[in-house]
């Protein structure tokens, strides 16, 4: 009799769990419908810039989640020789324009950075490296895009070591376009409550891509590949993120803490770029460091209603960004390197929608940024290396 009761109880628990899983799955679908991943403004921007939202999502998911793999030095790398309708990568896993012809005698310029350099919201011919290349005479100077989503200078340091050793690229100039991920990775470290002292020396990794990279590595060794994540677990994670103040940056940081945290972020950045510059000089490469503009750094432009919504959601990030920008401007550590502060360049944008979020922008903004970079490059390259009207970023 007790055996039958146990069978009944066990069956009841299993059926209840299945029903709860089904209800959780339905709840996730309803939540997604009521809270779409893309806002109307983002959809409008993608349409304006000729980007198929679904193809972009599939390519990004493939490159930064499903096929991302562990890289022993810089954390994770994108799949090699990936061919998507939106993203393509070369034999080393860097974003490339498969129609691009490279000339042996041209000076090669490598762009290093995170998602804004990679161009996660841009077609390949609207990315910053491509637009800069369009301002150059290809037989004299060309660009490579070594940007990878979420990379900070901590990742770029090792990326540069690898790339600068490769005769395949043979870069003579290296442009580092940074700022956003210096802040973002440190904020994630605080939210994840990581106390490893090395994270305050070399920086914190991007766990969102590192975790699937580790899983993919394990699966590549013959372990079973179980991709399904129970809906109940997903629901719990969403609830936990909302009710757990310990993971909310607004409760972790106070105004009294900001200066001490900014100094740590600043020191990580400075040490990284000084190391990069020293390596570059030892290899006959000119390193150029650019402090990037964002919506947070705009000071002299009227904001759209959508931009005000974004800024309201990023109050703490805005405070950190302002404090870090101020620390950068007061620094004397950049006097022996080629450092350029571009943080005010987006002040020149017209009052239209250009921002997907506080740091990812549309084609118009990328053209403005690229024109500023071209002006910087004119200090290093001969005048005859540039196309006529090159500051406009047109091909």
Q: Residue 174's beta-bridge partner residues?
A: 110, 287
In the numeric block, the tokens 């571009």 are attached to 342
Going from the first residue of the chain to its last (395 residues), give the mean pLDDT of each consecutive group of 10, the final group possibly shorter: 70 76 61 64 95 95 94 94 96 93 97 98 97 98 98 98 96 98 96 93 94 88 61 61 66 82 98 98 98 97 97 95 97 97 97 97 98 98 90 43
Buried b (16+ CB within 10 A) or exposed e, 72-82: eebbbbbbeeb
Domain check: are 17 and 56 in the same one?
no
Is residue 49 exposed (0-12), middle (13-18) or buried (19+ Cβ within 10 Å)?
middle
Q: What is the CATH number of the domain that holds 259?
A: 3.40.50.1110
Q: Which domain holds residue 25?
A: 1-35
As to burial, measured by CB atoms within 10 angstroms (0-12 exposed, 13-18 middle, 19+ buried), residue 97 is: middle
Distance CA 135, CA 137 (A): 7
Q: pLDDT value at position 252?
A: 73
- Round to whole Å and give the CA distance between 177 and 96: 18
| Tokens 């079973």 belong to residue | 224
Kindly state whether residues 138 and 269 are assigned to the same domain.
yes
DSSP 67-105: S-EEETTTEEEPPTT-B-SS-BB-TTS-B--TTPPPPTT
pLDDT of residue 253: 77
Q: Tokens 């993203």: give the residue.
A: 87
Q: Are 119 and 181 in the same domain? A: yes
How far from 333 is each of 155, 231, 273, 274, 336, CA to CA, in Å? Answer: 21, 50, 10, 9, 8
240 part of a folded domain = no
**Residue 305 shares a structural domain with residue 214:** yes
Asked whether residue 54 is assigned to any structural domain, the reply reads: yes
Phi, psi angles (nearest 5°) of residue 202: -115, -10
Pairing of strands 286-291, 171-178: parallel
pLDDT tens digits, 129-139:
999 999 999 99
Residues 51 and 27 in one domain: no
Q: What is the pTM of this model?
A: 0.88
User: How far is 305 from 257, CA to CA, in rounded Å?
Assistant: 30
Interatomic CA distance for residues 341 and 377, integer angstroms: 14
Q: Is residue 239 part of a domain?
A: no
Q: What is the DSSP string of 171-187?
A: EEEEEEEESHHHHHHHH
Number of domains into which the chain is organized: 2
| Same-domain status, 47 and 5 | no
Same domain for 132 and 165: yes
Gap between the Cα atoms of 392 and 135, Å rounded: 8
Say yes or no: 337 and 378 in one domain: yes
List b or e across 342-371, with b for residues whose CB sees 16 or more CB atoms inside 10 angstroms.
Answer: bbbbbeebeeebbbbebbbbbbbbbbbbbb
- Please, are residues 159 and 151 in contact by the beta-carbon 8 Å criterion? yes
Does residue 238 sit within a domain? no
In this structure, are 25 and 105 located in the same domain? no
pLDDT in tens, 99-141: 899 999 999 999 999 999 999 999 999 999 999 999 999 999 9
Helix H or strand E encompassing 313: helix 305-313
Q: What pLDDT does residue 303 have?
A: 97
For 196, the token pair is 């490893």
Identify whether the C-beta of residue 119 lies closer than 8 Å to the C-beta of residue 126: yes
Residue 248 three-state SS:
coil
Residue pair 169/237 in contact (Cβ under 8 Å)? The answer is no
- Residue 33 confidence (pLDDT): 45
């Amino acid at each position: 009799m007790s055996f039958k009761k146990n069978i009944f109880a066990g069956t009841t628990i299993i059926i209840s769990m299945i029903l709860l899983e089904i209800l959780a799955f339905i709840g996730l679908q309803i939540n997604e419908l009521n809270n779409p991943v893309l806002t109307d403004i983002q959809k409008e921007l993608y349409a304006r810039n000729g980007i198929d939202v679904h193809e972009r999502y599939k390519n990004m998911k493939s490159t930064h989640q499903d096929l991302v793999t562990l890289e022993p030095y810089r954390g994770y790398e994108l799949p090699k020789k990936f061919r998507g309708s939106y993203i393509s990568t070369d034999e080393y896993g860097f974003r490339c324009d498969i129609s691009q012809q490279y000339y042996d005698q041209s000076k090669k310029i490598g762009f290093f950075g995170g998602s804004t350099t990679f161009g996660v919201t841009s077609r390949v011919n609207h990315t910053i490296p491509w637009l800069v290349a369009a301002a150059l005479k290809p037989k004299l100077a060309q660009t490579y895009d070594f940007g990878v989503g979420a990379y900070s200078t901590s990742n770029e340091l090792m990326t540069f070591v690898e790339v600068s050793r490769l005769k395949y690229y043979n870069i003579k100039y290296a442009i580092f376009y940074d700022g956003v991920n210096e802040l973002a990775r440190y904020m994630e470290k605080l939210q994840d409550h990581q106390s490893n002292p090395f994270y305050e020396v070399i920086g914190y990794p991007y766990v969102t891509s590192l975790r699937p990279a580790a899983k993919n590595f394990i699966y590549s060794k013959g372990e079973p590949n179980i991709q399904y994540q129970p809906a109940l677990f997903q629901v719990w994670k969403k609830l936990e993120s909302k009710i757990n103040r310990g993971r909310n940056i607004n409760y972790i940081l106070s105004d009294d803490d900001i200066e001490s945290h900014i100094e740590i972020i600043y020191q990580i950045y400075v040490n990284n770029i000084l190391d990069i510059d020293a390596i570059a000089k030892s290899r006959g490469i000119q390193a150029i460091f650019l402090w990037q503009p964002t919506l947070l750094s705009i000071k002299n432009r009227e904001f759209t209603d959508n931009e005000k919504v974004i800024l309201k959601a990023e109050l703490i990030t805005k405070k950190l960004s302002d404090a870090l920008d101020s620390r950068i401007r007061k620094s004397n550590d950049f006097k022996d390197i080629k450092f350029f502060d571009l943080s005010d360049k987006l002040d020149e944008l017209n009052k239209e929608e250009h921002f997907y979020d506080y740091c990812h922008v549309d084609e118009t903004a990328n053209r403005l940024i690229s024109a500023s970079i071209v002006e910087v490059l004119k200090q290093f390259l001969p005048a005859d290396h540039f196309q006529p009207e090159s500051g406009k970023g047109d091909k």
